[in-house]
Amino acid sequence: MFGARIHRGIYLSLLALAGFSLVTSQGLSNVAWVALAANWLLEGRWREKWAMARGSRLLQAFAALWLAFCIGAFACGDVAVALNALRIRLALFAVPLVVLTTPPVEGRERRWLLWLYAATVLGTTLIGTVRLATIEGLPYREAVPFVSHIRFALNCCMVVYLCLLEPLPGRWRWAGYALALWTVAYLVIIRSYTAFAMLGMVWLVVIVCHRRRWPWVAAWCTVAVAVAAVAVGGCYSYYRMAPLAQQPLAALTAGGRPYEHHNDGIVENGNYVNNYICREELRQEWPRRSAVPLDSIGDDGYSREPVLIRYLNALGLPKDSVGVAALTDAQVADIERGVANPVYAHGNIFKRMLFVALFEYENRHNSDIVTDFSVLQRLEVWRAGWNIVAQRPWFGWGVVDLHVRVADELERMDSPLKGTGIHLHSQYLAWLIMIGFVGCVAVGLMFLRAAPALRRQPPLILAWVLTVLLSFTTELTLGVVAERLFCTWFLAFRLSQACLAPPGEGAQ
């Protein structure tokens, strides 16, 4: 009994370390899962663990996924590559094996572990906010120094669900609500489109499946309508055509020099970006307003000339000496810093996010430029991924180096993204490439077999499952060990196996 308590204490301590490592350190994530596996081996209780494993359909599904990886690894024909592929994916099976054959964390232990995890996320958001406020020019994607901003956004989503679905008792409940509001505000600061989409979809499913309280549904619908109204208003503001967009187009500037009119259709702030351009006058007038040369390359990798053209266009000014002369000193400073649209610097965060997305759409619709825009890059690399799947659709390529395979396909396509080193950005597509449709269907059926138990799980577990599944659509969520740990750590907080057994089986 005393030894069992020691192992239980170690188990809880290692779960706390794992929760801390989800947002702070890849190295700690490796230490945490290896230590969890070692403690599990030393603990014994093999008969009890075997009984739990036999009764866990979810663990059997993870075993099927691991088996598919094993088959795919050795199907690639290179033993060294196969063993390395299995090694780096070992945590994806080891952590579910440990937590699903160990009694779940409940009661006071559950609250302490989950809220320690929430405190870690809170501390990391504060670090990110301070870094953005004190480091000039720091990209918002690099605000958190420990993990990818996309992966961190998933943890922020989980903290919001925790605060709303398992609030703290008594007056502390309001501290939890304040933490949820702050976490949402931080997601606004780092402009996480994906996180907002996830929060909306997951929260709707959870309140319908578990709460079934129409006031919650009505509140969700009210927020959705408000967001839609803001989006429609922003689109109207973006596309409301300004005088310079009207026909006929003037042929000459006020100084008598000819304009360039490309008529390529790219619209920003109600004007066609590539109309009314006189580069000669821009180069003549700009030195009178700024000491930064137009052909100088900024930290963003672009010269100031296209930035100046877009900024003038957004203001509804011609891209000539008259337009440059009309700029205020503050607007000149914006251009020197690489701000291509005044909305990006002075608009509210929601309008800024919408205008960025609309400019990406305009570029995709009217040109083949994809390298500067995250959404367009995803569409292009997904096209390459589907090309790879189409070559071996049924059983896949085996567990190959996806990075190399995608890079080769982008090169073959002569894609604008060739040589950029971009990764696949879809876990589902990665699985199709590695184990094919047959493997994916087989593994998917095993997980569907375990799905009915989800409705009997705590709402937080359902929210976590939906977050993971949605993240697989646009990200390689299982790319590194911290992400694999995120996709398995919350299993420790499930209901006990007896609660999940069909009627009549709980006492067996």
pLDDT of residue 228: 79
**Any long-range contacts for 467-473 (C-beta under 8 Å, 24+ apart)?**
467/154, 467/157, 467/158, 467/161, 467/198, 467/202, 470/197, 470/198, 470/201, 470/202, 471/154, 471/194, 471/198, 471/427, 472/426, 472/427, 472/428, 473/426, 473/427, 473/428
- How much of the chain exceeds pLDDT 70, in percent? 89
The helix (run of H) or strand (run of E) holding residue 271 is strand 271-272
pLDDT of residue 76: 66
pLDDT tens for each residue of 417-461: 777 777 788 889 988 988 889 989 999 999 998 888 777 788 889
* Cα–Cα separations (whole angstroms), residue 245 to 316, 471, 494: 9, 40, 59
Does 344 or 209 have the greater pLDDT score? 344
pLDDT of residue 219: 67
Question: What residues does each domain of the chain span?
Answer: 244-346
Report the relative pairing of strands 271-272 and 267-268 from DSSP bridges: antiparallel
pLDDT for 299 beyond 70: no
pLDDT of residue 507: 34
Average pLDDT over residues 313-340: 89
pLDDT of residue 120: 94
Q: Which residues contact 132 (CB under 8 A, 6 or more apart)?
A: 138, 140, 143, 189
pLDDT of residue 354: 83
- pTM, whole model, 2 decimals? 0.79
In this structure, are residues 281 and 252 in contact, taking their beta carbons and an 8 Å threshold? Answer: no
pLDDT tens for each residue of 52-75: 888 888 999 999 988 888 887 776
Which of these ranges, 156-170, 352-366, 368-382, has the smallest mean pLDDT?
368-382
pLDDT for 383 beyond 50: yes
pLDDT tens for each residue of 22-41: 888 778 888 999 999 999 99
Mean pLDDT (the chain, rounded) = 83
Q: Which residues contact 178 (CB under 8 A, 6 or more apart)?
A: none
pLDDT of residue 124: 92
* Cα–Cα separations (whole angstroms), residue 10 to 28, 56, 80, 473: 16, 24, 34, 35
pLDDT tens for each residue of 148-157: 888 889 999 9
Does 297 or 176 have the greater pLDDT score? 176
pLDDT for 505 beyond 50: no
How far apart are alpha carbons 207 and 463 in whole angstroms? 10
User: Counting every residue, how long is the chain?
Assistant: 508
pLDDT for 119 beyond 90: yes
pLDDT tens for each residue of 255-276: 888 988 887 678 888 888 888 9
pLDDT tens for each residue of 481-504: 888 888 899 999 987 654 444 444
Radius of gyration of the chain (CA): 27
Does 267 or 505 have the greater pLDDT score? 267
Phi, psi of 252 (to 5 degrees): -125, 150
pLDDT of residue 508: 30
In this structure, are residues 69 and 86 in contact, taking their beta carbons and an 8 Å threshold? Answer: yes
pLDDT of residue 457: 83
pLDDT of residue 117: 94
pLDDT of residue 506: 39
pLDDT of residue 382: 87
Q: Quickly tell me which residue has 């876990």 as its tokens.
A: 427
pLDDT of residue 98: 92
